[in-house]
Amino acid sequence: MAQKILPRPEQVRAARSLLGWSQQDLASKAGVAVSTVADFERGQRSPVQNNALAIQRTLETAGVQFTETGVSHGFHWTFMTERGMSDLIITFTPEAVEPVVDFASIFGEVEPPKVAISKIHCATPELRSKVTDFVDRHGAKLPHLHRLNKMLADMNDGEFFLLLPTPPSSTAEQYQYERALHQLNHPQKQPLDEHLQLFGLLLEKYDLHNPRTDKRFDIGNARTDDRTCRFCGRTKETGAKFKKEAHAIPASLGNKHLKLCDECDECNGHFGTEIEPTLVELLNVQRVFLGIESRGTSPVIKFPGGQLFRDKKHDNLMVMASRNISEDASGVLRARLDSGKLIVPQNFYRALSKIALSVIPEEELAALKKTIRWVRYGESPSGPLPKIAAAVVMLPPDPSAQITLYVRKESSKTLPHVVCEFRLGCYLYVYALPFSERDDGDLIGFFEQPEFQETFRHYALVPSWNQQDYSGNKEIQVIQNITLRPSNAPDRNPSP
């Protein structure tokens, strides 16, 4: 698709002018020399493939889309209602900016050359009619705008919603918006400062990192010559190859866009065959529930007594066939899957830690040398690993697994250096990276420490946590059970 076609010189010039960037701006963001950009734009000399790709990705990350005929720039707004979030992208070209100006005049103010969008809105009859006009005017060219009408139709008169210029960058931020929205719509129920109390202390002690998974995002060094593999420490000069694309979260968990540059082909291959299959195996049921496709096919779980899959011929309906289903008086269905696969529990923890090491800021890696050796080579000091806290939560489904890291700012006797939150659909895992030089103790029961609970207060909102031990280094058999409650909410006890 468009990714493969390298932009033409005039497109790069046009893209820069849309963004208001100088050649210097583009060069430094893309990590290439200014002369490379200048020569390319003059059409004097084609840059080497890697530089051209770096330029293209930098512009695309800033929202520019290269098309057959030219360039366009997309505004990516996120709507948040109490029912969930929805994204709306409005693109415009240098010649046609009316959709954006019209949109802005409904939801904000236009003072050329600036547009300002307000975050808080209310579904009034007046707003509905403005939006209908807007969709009538531009819907033929931008058919996805019809979703706007649909979204407003689903809301009650007088209901508040939020319009965000960028999607929330972390679960904490998303949570803050959700609380604010709830407060607007149910003013008598929630004390105004409650969410600040929840997150205030956490943000004082920790930095939050939540890389986005909805568009291309490359972590690390764009230029192959600058890369050092985060796991084996080799560079191109010392024999590492960087030809393959390394996914920060495995592609089979729905991640298409989040990639790590600083992972060599050999480490990539090792993770793909040695530890990631365990992660995927233990999350298989959730993959079927979410309908995550891998290489064009959706997963089918086969077990001795039946199978679990999505039926593409019948509206992608979830099908669970088992010889071992029971129903109790309250309508709760239980199925035993007996999948019988052999897994090494510790590999689940290693695979989760590998995801964290892929997205953590480079400067933290120095304190995590032991963690890296454990993840890459299985070397570890003896003794049990910290417990992993698991829960089932009702959050809006996301097509990709998500990772959020909390990196401690100050030293502490009990709070972990790196706390990770991994979510796939409604499964949430909270774990600490083991073996950090910045940790004092073994962190085994970190989640239940008073200081941790006092700092990570939002975890208290989850009704029940399950402390799981993944220290085991020998193969065991996994037996999974599925419980379906009458509301059709997926639930499962993921412990092996």
Residue ranges that bind Zn ion, judged by CB under 5 A: 229, 231-232, 264, 267
φ, ψ for residue 49, nearest 5 deg: -45, -45
198 CB-side CA count, 13 A: 18
For residue 274, the minimal CB distance to Zn ion (Å) is: 13
Provide the 3-class DSSP secondary structure of residue 369: helix
- DSSP codes joined into one string, 222-254: SSGGG-B-TTT--BTTTT----SPEESS-GGGT
Q: In whole angstroms, what is the distance from residue 431 CA to residue 462 CA?
A: 15
Nearer to Zn ion, 232 or 335 (CB): 232
Nearer to Zn ion, 135 or 375 (CB): 375
N residues, the chain: 496
Query: Which residues, listed in sequence order, are joined to residue 295 by a DSSP beta bridge?
Result: none
For residue 69, the minimal CB distance to Zn ion (Å) is: 42
For residue 361, the minimal CB distance to Zn ion (Å) is: 19
H or E segment and range at residue 114: strand 114-117
For residue 48, the minimal CB distance to Zn ion (Å) is: 23
For residue 226, the minimal CB distance to Zn ion (Å) is: 15
| Contacts for 220 with CB less than 8 Å, ≥ 6 apart | 227, 230, 260, 261, 262, 362
Helices 345-359 and 265-274: angle between axes, nearest 10 degrees = 150
309 CB-side CA count, 13 A: 13
Q: In whole angstroms, what is the distance from residue 405 CA to residue 429 CA?
A: 12
Nearer to Zn ion, 119 or 270 (CB): 270
Helices 49-61 and 9-19: angle between axes, nearest 10 degrees = 30
For residue 263, the minimal CB distance to Zn ion (Å) is: 6
Q: CB–CB of 216/247 below 8 Å?
A: no
Measured over the CA atoms of residue 224, residue 225, residue 226 and residue 231, the dihedral's sign is positive
Nearer to Zn ion, 232 or 248 (CB): 232
For residue 253, the minimal CB distance to Zn ion (Å) is: 21
Nearer to Zn ion, 15 or 232 (CB): 232
Nearer to Zn ion, 43 or 269 (CB): 269
DSSP single-letter state for residue 125: H
For residue 354, the minimal CB distance to Zn ion (Å) is: 12
Nearer to Zn ion, 135 or 275 (CB): 275
Nearer to Zn ion, 42 or 244 (CB): 244
